[in-house]
Each structure stands twice: as structure tokens, then as C-alpha cells.
Amino acid sequence: MKTIVIISYSNLYTDPRVNRQIRFLSQKYRVIAIGFANPQVQNVTFMPVTHVSKNYVQKLGAIALLSTKQYETYYWKFSHVQETLQLLNAIKADLIIANDLETLPVVLRGANGVKVVFDAHEYFPKQFEDRFLEKLFFTAYKNYFCKLYIPKVDGMMTVCQKIADEYEKDMGVKAVVVTNAPKYHSIEPNLKSTEDRKVRMIHHGGANPSRRIENMIKVMDYIDDRFELDLLLVPFESRYTEKLKKLARHNKKIRFLPPVPMQELVAFSSQYDIGLFLLQPTSFSYLYALPNKFFEFIQARIMVAIGPSPEMAHIVQKYDLGVVSDDFQPKSLAKKLSSLTYDQINYYKQQSDEVAHLMSAEQNKSKLFFLIEKVLRGEETLTKHRKIPSQELVVQSSPKKS
């Protein structure tokens, strides 16, 4: 049995995409998972690395290194990177999957000739464009690592077609699209009866200021009294969460509920009528987002209500799953919602039921196995049609894949 190492600097139990990756591949391969927390998947060997937060002095040192473009020095100072390298040197693997950009350099150094597949969850050169400090210090850093390291991998996947197209255009590599769809759930749509007049909406996910969650709160200011909204937010910045609660306190139609475990989220959401996600396009990644929650709404057999985010809107309109506002203003989405009848909501729920199999992780499983098996056989999976000019890179001593 071949051995696959899967690396992600995240909680491998609560990271939906990586956890699915581990579960699927462990059905056919011996899997070793490296990360911050155990994925809790049967027959998978877990090797932890330590996540250490920087103190004030270390943050100042990091700023100094990034400001002077000492990107390799900055990266290799992380303790979890060094721990990962030691683990990889002791493992005899047939293939390694590097999840997210921050794992890629250490995987390529520690691969020792082993095949490497890169899972780019985001388009990293344009990640967090709306945050001044991120853009100031990390945009060039991520661009450097993408252009230097991505062309060295043997296979690549990402979350949606637009991000795949952008990597092909900028890095000259063609990625396989593996969406963030969760596993198929066998759920009957909870259709509204004539006695059930309230329309219950849900939004769940991280309370990240870049997502402008306040816009979904503002939707409720323009909507009629039939509608209620429950927010299940995972804290990202405590001050931002408190700001949202303060903004919503005047509106009795909004509740803040505790987050629900990932494994229970779809079943919990099925009691609602509409999954709400108005995502301001503050960055390239947010403009072309196709997140877990979008597919979880579908698996929960509820209607979808979103802004005109191209990747999500394409699916909603193609399969008639709900409403897409004309722009990203709260009033625009409120207008679409207010015009809904109960029969229309039931129709959209039934449409979600119709496509639930198609929008499930099982559809991605074959893509994942096809890519992994092709790489293991040594077949070409990337169309590397563009050589990165040397002047685009910062010239440093950097590790090369053997």
C-alpha cells in the first residue's frame, strides 16, 4: 500500500476541505496527517506540529525581514516549519499533499524526490487585498513564493475555475478544480406549510471583518417582518463580534447562536428556509469565493440567497436554487427576498434537493483520486506553458526539490 502524507497548518478535525481529503484518501492509501490537531479519522497516523503565536518583539523582527524582502529567512524561522522538515526527513512516502501556500516550501525541501501535489485553497497573491498591513507586507511575499515554488510541483488543485484560470495565467500551471462541497446528506426538504408563516434564515462561518457581515445584519432593516436571521459565528476578532452584536441589538429579528460542530452543521441548517451569504468583494478571493457554506446550504435542502458573486451566482442561476441580488448592497438583496412567496421558497428548497448529489464531495472524490493516481504513475498533470522571468523573483538562496 502506498503512503501519502497530507500537510496543513490547521486544525485537521475542523478544517472541512483537508478533513475530507484525509478521509477519502485513507480509503485506499496509508495516510499520515501533519497539522495542528488530530483529524480523528480511523487508520490515519497523526503527527502534530506546534503552532506558536509571535510575541511583540518577534512581530517587529518579522516586519523587518519582510520589509527587506528576506522572505526565505522569514519563512524558515517558524518552529512548525522546522518540525515539519524533521518529520518529512523521517517518513518514507510515495506522495505528499501540501495544503495552502505556507506548507509548500517545506514540503518541496523535505520531499527528497517524492511526488508533490499542491492544494491551493485560495489565490494567494491577491489574498486579503483589503487589509493594509497584509497588502503592505505579505502580498510581495506570497507572490514570490507562488512564482518560485508552484512550478516545481507535480500536480495541483484548487477550489473553483476562476482561481484555477488565474493560476494558469500568472504561474503557467493548470490546476484541477476540486470544490469545497461536503459529503452527501440524505435529507428531505423541510417544506413550509400554510400555518408556518415565519421565514427562517441562517448564516454561519467565521466572524471575519473582511467579510462585512454587518451587511447581512443591514439586510434585516429593509425586509418585512416575516423574516428572521440566525447568525452562528466563529470568533475571529472579539471586537468585531461585539460590534456586530451592538449593530443588531435594535433588531428583534436577529439572533446570535453558538457555532455548531462541522459534522452537525448540515443537519442543523435543514430546519431553516434560506441560507444567506452577502459577501462584499473586498478581494479577488472574496469576489470569486465558492465556500463550504454555499454547498452546505444545498445539502441542508434550503434555498440560497446571495450577492452577485460570480462563482456562486453561476450555480444558483444554472440550477435555480434561489435569488441573486443585483449588486452587493443590503437593500438590493432585501428587495429580492421580500418579493418571495412561500411557494417559491418551497420550490427553491426542492431544487436544492434535486442537485444535492451533484453538489456533494462524492463528485469530487473521483477528481481527487484521478489526480493522485496520475501523479503517482509519473504522468504529466500540469500544463507549464510559461517560464517565470528571473527578474520577477527576489534572488535568494532557496531550497529546490530534488
Q: For the segment 137-191, what is each residue's pLDDT rounded down to a tens digit?
A: 778 888 899 999 999 999 999 999 999 999 999 888 999 999 999 999 999 999 9
CA max distance for the chain = 70
With cut-offs at 50, 70 and 90, classify the pLDDT of residue 80: very high
Q: What does the alpha-carbon distance between residue 306 and residue 331 come to, in Å, rounded to a whole number?
A: 12
With cut-offs at 50, 70 and 90, classify the pLDDT of residue 31: very high
State residue 292's pLDDT score.
Answer: 94
247-305: per-residue pLDDT in tens? 999 999 999 999 999 889 999 999 999 999 999 998 898 999 999 999 999 999 999 99
State residue 130's pLDDT score.
Answer: 64
CA-closest candidate to residue 259, choices 296, 241, 232, 297: 232
State residue 311's pLDDT score.
Answer: 96
Beta bridge partners of 98: 7, 118
205-222: per-residue pLDDT in tens? 999 998 999 999 999 999
Full-model pTM? 0.88
Beta bridge partners of 31: 4
Round the average pLDDT of the chain to a whole number and report it. Answer: 90
State residue 399's pLDDT score.
Answer: 45
Out of 127-136, 193-202, 340-349, 381-390, least confident range: 381-390
CA-closest candidate to residue 348, choices 312, 321, 324, 316: 321
State residue 372's pLDDT score.
Answer: 97
Structural domains in the chain, CATH included, are 3-180+361-392 (3.40.50.2000), 199-355 (3.40.50.2000)
Q: What is the mean pLDDT of residues 347-366?
A: 96
State residue 236's pLDDT score.
Answer: 80
Residue 236 buriedness (CB in 10 A; 0-12 / 13-18 / 19+): middle
State residue 392's pLDDT score.
Answer: 40
Q: What is the mean pLDDT of residues 375-397?
A: 57
Q: What does the alpha-carbon distance between residue 102 and residue 99 come to, in Å, rounded to a whole number?
A: 8
